[in-house]
Chains A and B, each alone.
Chain A
C-alpha cells in the first residue's frame, strides 16, 4: 500500500491532511518556521483577530496543572488592520490553508470583521470564536446559548462566502444542542472543544495563580471529555467536525477521528514540541498503513 490518501474536505477546503494547528498556540505561523516546513500541515488557524487591537489580560497568564495548562491570555491581538498589513502577507507564500480565527463583542462586530476578511485574498476559512473563556463579554455568551449562537452564525454566514467554522465552548450542559443550532445557522463545520473554565489558588499567598483569576484549561487532562463531546456532536449534526482537546500524538488524533472528527487541531502540544503536527501526520500514515486502510476518510467515525 504505497499511496495513502490523507485528504479531507471541510466546507470548500480540501486539506492535504487532517492536521491543523489551533488558534492561540501557533502565533501567526512565523514563530514556527525555524522548526519545520509549515507547508506540510493541513491547515493553520491564526491567533484570534478582532476589529480593534486588544491588550489582553494582566499577568500571570499561564499556570501549569497536572497534565494541563491554565491560561488567561485574554485574546491579545494586533487587530484586523495590522493583521492584513503585516501578518497576512506571510501566508501568501505558504501552500497550506489559512483559517482565520475571529471574534467580536457584538453581533455587529462579528459581521463587520467577517465581511472585511472575506475580501482579503489568501484566507481559506473563518473560525468564529464563540467560546473564549477569558473575556467576559466576548463570544462565550453566544457560545452557551443555542438561540444566540444560531442567530450570530446566521448573521456572519450572510457576510462571507468563505468556509465558516464555529468553534464551540465545552462550558455548556449540552454541546450537541449548540452544534445543531450553528449547523442550522449555516456553519460549514464545527470545531471543538475550546478550553474549560478553570482556576487554581496558591495556598501560600492565598491568591489566584492567574492575574485574571479564571482561565481556560487545555492539554491531556481534558482529552477524555473532549472525545466524549465530539462523539455527542457527531450524532447530532451532519457537517464536518474538527476535533481537539489535549492531542499530544497520533494516537490521540486517531481517537478523535474514530469518534467522528474529520480533522483535528493540535494546540497545547505545539508549545511543548513545536513539531507535534508533523509527528501526528507521520503517525497517521503509519497507522493507516499498518491497518491496510488506504484512505483516512474510512477512519472517520469508524468506531463501535
Chain B
C-alpha cells in the first residue's frame, strides 16, 4: 500500500559533479518497493517549491538484510538542476524527509528467470531506475548499455560491475566508451544477440532516447518496456497532469505516475 510517511536522512553525498546520493531511513517504503517504482519527496516546508519531486528508487535494504544498520534504508540519486534539487543538496543527516510511495506500476519481470536474456538501456539519470532490475536478476547475466553526454554523466558503473553484467558505455562527446548515443551503440552491438533466443529489453532515459529506441526494428522485435519521465504534480494519479499519448483504444492520454511510469515501449505515441 502506498503511504505518506516521514523518513530520516542518513546520508547526502555528492558522488560526482552535480550528482548526489540521498539516503533515507524509511522502512515502510523500503520494504515494499519494486523495481521501477518511485517516490515523491517533499523538498520544502513552505510553498517554494510547492510540488513534491519524483525520484526513482535506486537501492533499498529490506528488514531482513544481513547488515542491521542498513535495514529500512532507501537511496535516491539526483542531479542538482534547479531550486528543488539545490534545497535537497543542503539536506543534512538527521533531518526528516516527507515521502509518498511506493508509486507507479514498476517493471514486469520475465515469468521465469531463465526464460530469456536481459538487455538494459539507460540514458543519463535513467540508469538509476534500471539498477534495481540487476539486483532482482541476481546471478543472471544482463547486457547493460549506459549513455550520457560526457564521462561525468555516466553513473552507477561500479554497481553494475558487481553483478554478472556486460556493460557497454556511450558518451556523446566520446570522453568515455563509444562516441555517440546509447541507442547507436546498442544497434552496433546487435550481432551479440541471437535471433532464436528471447530477449527482454528494459529502458529508461530522456524522451529523445526512448523515441529513437522505439523506432528501431530491433527494439520492436524484443519485449520492450520503458520507464518514462514527466513533469508531475501529485504523483499518485489524481490530477492527470503527467500524461503521455499512447495507443490505448479508449484513453489515449495515460498517466505516467499511475498507469506508468513503465509502459510497453511500442504503446507510446511519440510526438
Contacts and interface: CB of A to CB of B under 8 A. Distances in A.
B100 A71 contact: no
The A interface is mostly helix, strand or loop, or mixed, namely: loop
Nearest to A246: B47
B250 A58 contact: no
Interface in A219-257: 219-220, 248
B232 interface: yes
A64 interface: yes
B217 interface: no
A31 B100 CA distance: 13
A24 B52 contact: no
Contact of A71 (B233, B237, B253): B233
B239 A272 contact: no
Contacts of B238: 25-27, 31-32, 270-271, 274
The 6 closest A-B pairs by CB, nearest first: A62-B241, A271-B234, A27-B238, A31-B238, A31-B237, A271-B233
B244 interface: yes
B253 A271 contact: no
Most buried by B among A61, A71, A268: A61
Interface residues of A, number: 37
Interface of A: 24-27, 31-32, 34-35, 47, 53, 55-56, 58-64, 66-69, 71, 73, 76, 78, 219-220, 248, 268, 270-275
Interface stretch (B1-9, B87-95, B107-115, B130-138): B1-9
B50 A73 contact: no
Which of B51, B245, B252, B271 gathers the greatest number of chain A CB atoms within 10 Å? Answer: B51
Nearest to A47: B240
A220 B237 contact: no
How many B residues are at the interface, by size bracket?
A: 20 to 34
A220 B236 contact: no
Contacts of B1: 34
A262 B251 CA distance: 37
B50 A268 contact: yes
A284 to B, nearest CB: 20
B253 A24 contact: no
A58 B245 contact: yes
B76 interface: no
Given A58-B245, A273-B4, A275-B4, A67 B47 contact: yes
A62 B242 contact: yes
B97 interface: no
A32 B234 CA distance: 11
B245 A272 contact: no
A73 B242 CA distance: 9
10 contacts: A25-B238, A27-B237, A59-B243, A59-B253, A64-B51, A73-B239, A76-B243, A271-B234, A271-B239, A274-B234
A239 B47 CA distance: 33
A51 B251 CA distance: 16
Given A25-B238, A272-B42, A59 B230 contact: yes
Given A59-B244, A62-B231, A248-B47, A25 B239 contact: yes
Interface string B27-43: 00000000000000010
A220 B48 CA distance: 10
A213 to B, nearest CB: 16
A289 B246 CA distance: 52
A76 B234 contact: no
A275 B4 CA distance: 9
A60 B52 contact: no
